Structure 1
Amino acid sequence: MFENDFPLLSTASLVALIMHKAGSGPVTLESCETALAALFQQANETPGLPPEELRERLAGHLADLQTARILEPAPDGGWQLTRRGRRALEQHPEGLDQTDLARYPEFAAHLRDTAHKPCGMDPRGAHFDEGYLACLNGLPFTANPYAFDNADHQAWENGWTEAQEEREQEPPR
């Protein structure tokens, strides 16, 4: 196991925890947090992440499960398993990951709807795209218009290199 690898925090493990807990009645974010804390205590481990990040992960998985219609709002608050959720729990007692969830049409549609929206993680995506297009248009690697010692240069270079690698992998025509 790697130093920062916590199997109990994998997507499948957290989703399994939520689904098993929901299998015996409605769940809330708080009840999932309590169940996760109990698992860590039983394993004599610590999560290795701040409580806010654990809460955020669980909340994200609850939202994903609702999007996939595995969970639905419970009448008294929280979430409960749907009929689809009960089947999913029977078929995947070890949990589901994003690949599994993508098999559900509602979740796949959600991924398509959110896939191309900027997430703010890479402020230099446009420079990457510039480099990528430069390669496709036949410009040489040396055509990078940005100063060598900055991140814009690197982003352009990464885009150009990505396009070049894809070209090399294409079967000859």
Structure 2
Amino acid sequence: MDDAEPILLHEPDFMLAVLRAAREGPARLDDAVARLRAHLAAAGEPLALAPEELTRRFEEAARLLEGACAIVPADDGRYRLTPRGVRLLAEHPDGIDQSVLRTFPEFRAFMATTSRPGPEDDPRLPAFHAGMQAFAERRALSDNPFASDTPDHLAWECGWSEARDEALRR
């Protein structure tokens, strides 16, 4: 049986391609695209993304990596790795995503200034903020006021946990 379904590409694939393209010196996003195409071709997989979507995904990966201080702009639209980018490649050879980047205070600050979700973007944001407030008020995780099988319960728990993690990082 032939499974002709194309491979799914995820954020770590794009971030790794961006970082690996600049491993030897300043690179362009086109270099990262070529690297990903070659990797997929070696695996016998097609690149099943429209050119606009491919460009958008690589630009987003580069934007996030720059926000984490893993790459910096070089000349002529190129970018280069920073020591942090080199370290990320060494420590995470199988993939880098936002959960890895969030360990850096620069990335958290970058995200706070560039993406301000509002209630119209995420209907669970009030529950998330309520969970953060509950941690600040020294309430227990078990004090979650939402039914355990609801999205609001999870959002509240995520907010509480995020506040706890922030407190532990200080």
TM-score, scaled relative to structure 1: 0.62
* Contact 2:69/2:82 (8 A) holds in 1: yes
Question: How do 1:122-133 residues align onto structure 2 when only pairs under 5 Å count?
Answer: 125=123
* Residue 112 (structure 2) aligns with: 112
Structure 2 distance, partners of 1:119, 1:80, is 37
**Distance (Å, rounded) in 2 between the aligned partners of 1:81 and 1:72:** 7
TM-fit CA distance, 1:64: 0.5
Q: CA RMSD in A?
A: 3.1
For 2:151 and 2:121, the matched residues in 1 are separated by: 19
Deviations 1:89-142, CA, capped at 9 Å, x for gaps: 1111223111000111111112233454349767xx5xx97xxxxxxxxxxxxx
Residues 4/77 of structure 1: CA separation in 2 closer, same or farther (3 Å cut) = closer
Output the TM-score relative to the length of structure 2: 0.63
For 1:38, the equivalent position in structure 2 comes to: 38
**Number of aligned pairs?**
130
Question: Counterparts in 2 of 1:1-173, with a 5 A limit?
Answer: 6=8, 9-118=9-118, 125=123
Give the distance between the partners of 1:76 and 1:5, measured in 2 at CA.
32
Unaligned 5+ segments in structure 2 are: 127-149, 158-170
Q: Percent identity?
A: 32
Larger gyration radius, structure 1 or structure 2:
1
1:76 Cα deviation after fit: 4.4
Gap regions ≥5 residues in structure 1 = 130-160
Contact 2:20 2:32 in 1 (8 A): no
One-letter code of the match for 1:75? D
